[in-house]
Amino acid sequence: MTSTPLPSQPASRPASQPVGQDPAAYPGARPAAAPAYPGAQPAVAQGPVGPAPVLQARALRHSYGEKAGATLALDGVDLDIRAAESVAVMGPSGCGKTTLLHVLAGILPPTSGSVVHAGASLDSLSDAARTRLRRTSFGFVFQDGQLLPELTALENVVLPRMLGGTSRRAASAEASAWLDRLGLAGMHERRPGQLSGGQAQRVAIARALAGRPSVVFADEPTGALDQTTGHSVLQVLAEACQDAGAALVMVTHDPSVAATCERTIAMRDGRIAQQFHREGGAR
């Protein structure tokens, strides 16, 4: 897949950089000597190689339910996500891929093990601090977008920034630029119900990226779209993440979707069974 150049970055940047973000995640701030990702990378990244990973998971275990009838969804996962890298998480239903996504994003606390983001362990954070972290450092794109149906496209993108304390005016300028870049010029005032599935998903992508996250988590982002629309949305997602310097962690069933990512993790029974590294991916 070849990258088509996107329009230039939004001109206005928030005055204050969100707390806890890795400045290396931004193209402008990335060290000039940042190493390329060699295709011969070992299959399992057990320790930091090159720049510190933006997200580091160690010995993750997660079980649902009480002792006797507990289901082990994660069974000892070690994983590093490097800045601006794209990772697809694949595997059969029930293999723990969505659980892994939720644990990495601080939505679910792991039963044991740790997730470290920007030097801070997520399990040492309070629920409020993890919520703030999700708002300031992570972006989310889910299957059906989950936009607020009452808000306009622009307001949907603006809302997380306003929750973070950015003024409406500044957040709107930024959000407008993102929507325009993602091909939604002229649709800012439409409600999600007035947009097609692909357009709504682009709004969700703009919303995820407007907060300048270091990691974007996507769970079957094209699951509800037809193949053509799905591929164009994926391309937009991958390019926008790359452009913003955000890592992308995407759960998917679809091998052709996974093929757009640099790295594919195949999960089975709560463990990472295999990793593939792809050279010349979309990133």
Partner 1 sequence: MSLLSTAPLILRRRGGIATALPIIGFAASTGILATVLGGLGAFASRAAASPVGDGPPTAEASNLSFLMSCAIVATVLLVPSAMSLGSAAAKLSLSRRERDLAAVRLVGGTTAQVGALAVADVLAQALIGSLIGLLAHLAVSPALTALDFGMAPFSVGELLMPLWAYPVLVIAATLLAGASAGIGLAGVAISPLGVARDSRIVRMSVVRLIVWAALIVLFIAAFQILPRIVGGIPNGIGVLIAVLAILMALVIGSVNIVGPFVVWVVARIIAAVAPGPALLVGARRLAADPRAGWRAVSGITFGLVIAGFLTLTSMFGNMDETASERALSTALHTGGLLTLGIAAVLAAVSTGVTQTARVLDQARVYRSQHVAGATVSALQRARIAEIAIPLALAAIVAGLSAAGLLAPVMSGGFAVGAVAQYIASALGALGLVALSVAVSAPLVGRVARSDA
DSSP string, 21-81: --GGGSTTTS-TTPPP--TT--SS--S--SSPPSEEEEEEEEEES-TTT-EEEEEEEEEEE
Number of residues that bind partner 1 (CB under 8 A): 32
For the CB of residue 73, give the shortest distance to partner 1 in the complex, in Å. 11
Residue among 66, 193, 228, 280 that touches partner 1 (CB under 8 A) = 193
* Per-residue CA distances from 165 to 25, 177, 215, 226, 232 (Å): 21, 19, 20, 37, 32
Residue 20 binds partner 1 (CB under 8 A):
no
Chain positions 95 to 154 lying near partner 1, rule: CB under 8 A, are 105, 107-108, 128, 131-136, 138-140, 142, 146, 148-151
Answer whether 261's CB lies under 8 Å from 248's CB.
yes
Q: Show the tokens assigned to 112.
A: 């044991």
149 or 255: whose CB is closer to partner 1?
149
- Cα–Cα dist 227/217, whole Å: 21
250 or 282: whose CB is closer to partner 1?
250
Other C-beta atoms lying within 10 Å of the C-beta of residue 276: 15
192 or 198: whose CB is closer to partner 1?
192
160 or 198: whose CB is closer to partner 1?
160
30 or 135: whose CB is closer to partner 1?
135
132 or 181: whose CB is closer to partner 1?
132
Chain positions 151 to 190 lying near partner 1, rule: CB under 8 A, are 151, 155, 158-160, 162-164, 167-168
Residue 9 binds partner 1 (CB under 8 A):
no
Indicate the SS3 state at residue 182.
coil
Q: Residue written as tokens 């400045």?
A: 23
- Stretch 201-240: interaction string toward partner 1, x if CB under 8 A: ------x---x-----------------------------
DSSP string, 92-109: STTSSHHHHHHHHTTSS-
For the CB of residue 248, give the shortest distance to partner 1 in the complex, in Å. 16
- Cα–Cα dist 192/5, whole Å: 27
User: Nearest to residue 91, comparing CAs of 273, 237, 219, 276?
Assistant: 273
Interface residues toward partner 1, by CB under 8 A = 105, 107-108, 128, 131-136, 138-140, 142, 146, 148-151, 155, 158-160, 162-164, 167-168, 191, 193, 207, 211
